[in-house]
Amino acid sequence: MAPIKNGRVLFNEVPEGLPVAGKTTIYDESHTIDIDIIPLNGGFVAKLLSISVDPYLRGRMRKPEKKSYSNPFTLGEPISNYAVSVVLRSEDDSVKPGDHVYGLFPYQEYSVLTKAQIMRTLDNKENLPWSLFVGILGMTGQTAYYAWKEYAQAKAGETAFISAAAGAVGATVVQFAKADGMKVIASSGSEEKVELAKSMGADVSFNYKTSETAEVLQKEGPISVYWDNVGGPTLEAAIENASTGARFIECGMISGYNGESYFVKNLMQIVGKQLHIHGFIVGYLGPKYDEEFYSTVPARVASGEIKYKEHVYKGLEGASQAIVDVQSGANFGKAVIVVAEQ
Ligand SMILES: NC(=O)c1ccc[n+]([C@@H]2O[C@H](COP(=O)([O-])OP(=O)(O)OC[C@H]3O[C@@H](n4cnc5c(N)ncnc54)[C@H](OP(=O)(O)O)[C@@H]3O)[C@@H](O)[C@H]2O)c1
């Protein structure tokens, strides 16, 4: 086989504030690969099918000396994220051509990988689109499923508030809260997102850009669970309107990822209201919930019981813009790059 193009997305510059498409990350087509002869060194070569675009990628676009829970990207190298690839050729007996593998892989059409990079070999008994395995059936769905189970202590009749509720994680949490019999208040950043959160089951769905979050919570609360995706003034409003003993699931604080941090001014209420604040990183809950998740959730998605919305970008060429879209709210559903169908 002749060498073929091997498109990839490179980390080009540490951003100040919001990343800039074509500047922070760039699409590069200068490399080629010959699948038949590329040295595998005991590993395998795989073709990228779908790769996730997530808010936390912003945190990896940093100088290496800055410490965080996730690894920083290396300037001049492909960025990486949760992905599904199909194995084309292998020198590892436990990894077969045709296997669909999930793991943290480079934003690159073809990569030589090792067994250690595989987090799971997917069976896909329900024959679902592979893109779902980086979304509702990947890290995103796991985030919602694991932390809701671990921390929500949901009680029917109580009220939950979910921010970024039309997003990948948020829209899933809305459904779990509803299924547990809670009244669900959902905030999001556009009218079409407000409708989406409603269609996922939210009882009160509002646009935080045109309505005052604190006023909505005062009217519809108090809240017993807050699923925080955004931090900032929204977190302040949630604390203000929390009931005694409320559970706060601190999933993310995207309002501060691209600019100055906002200092929440009413933290002392955590003491008086005896709030339970649970920060978490999904990977650490994996050993407890992975098997339960993969053995039950794909069937629930296939049956339509768990709903999802994807925002599909075709090809790595659009990846840099997709990254910016997720940081700025221009995505409408789980952002995923579909590089190839099969
Ligand atoms: N702890 C973990 O292990 C873990 C794992 C996965 C994700 N997360 C976190 O979960 C959150 C949601 O992630 P996701 O993958 O579901 O992304 P997403 O909601 O699909 O996309 C991000 C959304 O955040 C909202 N947003 C952006 N800037 C904002 C701002 N300044 N203020 C308020 N909202 C803003 C936008 O929605 P609007 O248009 O509605 O503003 C945007 O669409 C993020 O904070 C992420 O870091 C955490």
Q: Is the pLDDT of residue 261 over 90?
A: no
Is ligand 1 within 6 A of the CB of residue 111?
no
Over residues 224-247, the pLDDT tens digits come to 999 999 999 999 999 999 999 999
Considering the chain, what is the average pLDDT of its residues?
97
Q: Which of 323, 195, 316 is nearest to 254 (CA)?
A: 323
CATH code, 140-282: 3.40.50.720
Q: Is the pLDDT of residue 1 over 80?
A: no
Angle at 166 between CA 188 and CA 146, to 5 degrees: 120
Cα 168 to middle of ligand 1, angstroms: 8
Distances (CA, A) of 223 to 81, 149, 218: 34, 18, 9
From the CA of 255, give the closest atom in ligand 1.
31
Whole-number pLDDT of residue 260: 83
Is ligand 1 within 6 A of the CB of residue 52?
no
Is ligand 1 within 6 A of the CB of residue 197?
no
Q: Which of 32, 33, 27, 116 is nearest to 78 (CA)?
A: 27
The answer to whether 161 and 223 are in contact (CB under 8 A) is: yes
The answer to whether 167 and 188 are in contact (CB under 8 A) is: yes
Is ligand 1 within 6 A of the CB of residue 166?
yes
Over residues 28-85, the pLDDT tens digits come to 999 999 999 999 999 999 999 999 999 999 999 999 999 999 999 999 999 999 999 9
Supply 318's token pair.
């659009």
Cα 72 to middle of ligand 1, angstroms: 19
From the CA of 251, give the closest atom in ligand 1.
1
Is ligand 1 within 6 A of the CB of residue 322?
no
**What is the pLDDT averaged over residues 123-150?**
98
Q: 111 pairs with which residues across the strands?
A: 46
Cα 54 to middle of ligand 1, angstroms: 8
Q: Where in the chain is the domain with CATH 3.40.50.720?
A: 140-282
pTM beyond 0.95, yes or no: yes
Cα 254 to middle of ligand 1, angstroms: 5
Over residues 12-23, the pLDDT tens digits come to 999 999 999 999
Q: Is the pLDDT of residue 169 over 80?
A: yes
Structural class in CATH, domain 4-135+309-338:
alpha beta
R_g over Cα of the chain: 21
Q: Where in the chain is the domain with CATH 3.90.180.10?
A: 4-135+309-338
Is ligand 1 within 6 A of the CB of residue 323?
no
Q: Which residues contact 105 (CB under 8 A, 6 or more apart)?
A: 46, 48, 51, 80, 81, 83, 85, 111, 113, 117
